[in-house]
Amino acid sequence: MEINQLRVIDAIARTGSLTAAAEELHYAQASVSHHLARLQEHVGAALTVRRGRGIVLTPEGQLLASRARDILRRLDETQSEVTALSRQLRSRLRIAAFQSALLELVPPALRRLQDDYDDIALELQESDPIDSMGLLRRNEVDVAVMHRPDDAPIGDEFAAVKLYDDPIYLLSTTPDDRVANHRDSSWIAGCERCQAGIEAVCLAAGFQPRVSLRTEDINVQASFVAAGLGVVTMPGTALRSLDMTRLAATALPGMKRRVWAVARASDGAGIAYDFIQATAAAVAAAGLNTSGFDQE
């Protein structure tokens, strides 16, 4: 039993003739007769009888027409729902990113994306790199903007674009500072992985840092440094969003992190891939892929 056959029996039931049914459906009358004949053959019963110059449905035809009307209505509703869902999914963008990326990378990328998508359904999550990749694997986000210490492959199941190298700085109140100068200073740390990075830097300078404040908010970190209450290491991307009036950033030689935008390879072309390209364009426009943080 085919959809066109159900449309024919429904139209005949409502119009009372093959000619009127053909006109309503924009079919040739011969096509309507053919569909009706095939439908009768399929169910094994006559569905119409002639009456005067028109036709009426047999009891079997009436039952089938009633069911056809319900089926066609449900099909139309389903098609509308699928179309709406498809439109929603095409414009849905779920992003997980680290804090400074949300501040400095995501907004300009989204502005670029709006040229092609004027109804983006946006969901943002602040997340560290390991958690972001977990969200991506579980299909809880569409794009992860994350950083890692090296350029090792991320995995064949992902489409990954390296955006830039992000130098790491010592943030203090003294220009051209050195980590070794802060053997007795208070240090400010964020997450456990961030603290591990600070400990590695300090141990390389010959001492164990004394961590006195733990917060992942870079603005809080900067305010404590500006007040002379501690020092912290911070990537260049984060520094771009800070008021550096009372702060000084000293590059740490050989220290950097690699920033990537990653989507699932199985997703194919779509808004997630377009966002990654927009992010890469925003990075290039900001000069992040060619230089570090410039205090001037």
* pLDDT one-digit tens code per residue, 164-212: 999 999 999 999 999 999 999 999 998 888 888 899 999 999 999 999 9
Residue 291's pLDDT band (cuts 50, 70, 90): very low
Residue type, 78: T
Residue 84's pLDDT band (cuts 50, 70, 90): low
Q: What is the pLDDT of residue 89?
A: 56
Give the Å distances, CA to CA, from 45 to 8, 256, 294. 16, 79, 84
User: Backbone phi, then psi, for 118, in 5-degree steps?
Assistant: -95, 0
Residue 290's pLDDT band (cuts 50, 70, 90): low
pLDDT for residue 126 is more than 70:
yes
pLDDT for residue 137 is more than 50:
yes
H or E segment and range at residue 112: helix 106-113
Residue 179 is given by DSSP the state G
How do residues 3-46 score in pLDDT, each as one tens digit? 888 888 888 888 888 888 888 888 998 998 888 898 888 888 88
Contacts (Cβ under 8 Å, ≥6 apart) of 220: none
Residue 231 is given by DSSP the state B
How far is residue 261's CA from residue 113's CA, in Å, rounded to a whole number? 15
pLDDT for residue 260 is more than 70:
yes
pLDDT for residue 296 is more than 60:
no
H or E segment and range at residue 61: helix 59-91
Query: First-to-last CA distance in the chain?
Result: 75
In this structure, what token pair is assigned to residue 25? 């459906």
3-state DSSP assignment of residue 150: coil
Which of the pair, 82 or 203, is modelled with greater confidence?
203
Any bridge partners for residue 213, and if so which? 188
Any bridge partners for residue 94, and if so which? 123
Average pLDDT over residues 206-221: 94
User: Backbone phi, then psi, for 288, in 5-degree steps?
Assistant: -70, -25
How far is residue 262's CA from residue 276's CA, in Å, rounded to a whole number? 8
Residue type, 60: E
Average pLDDT over residues 97-117: 91
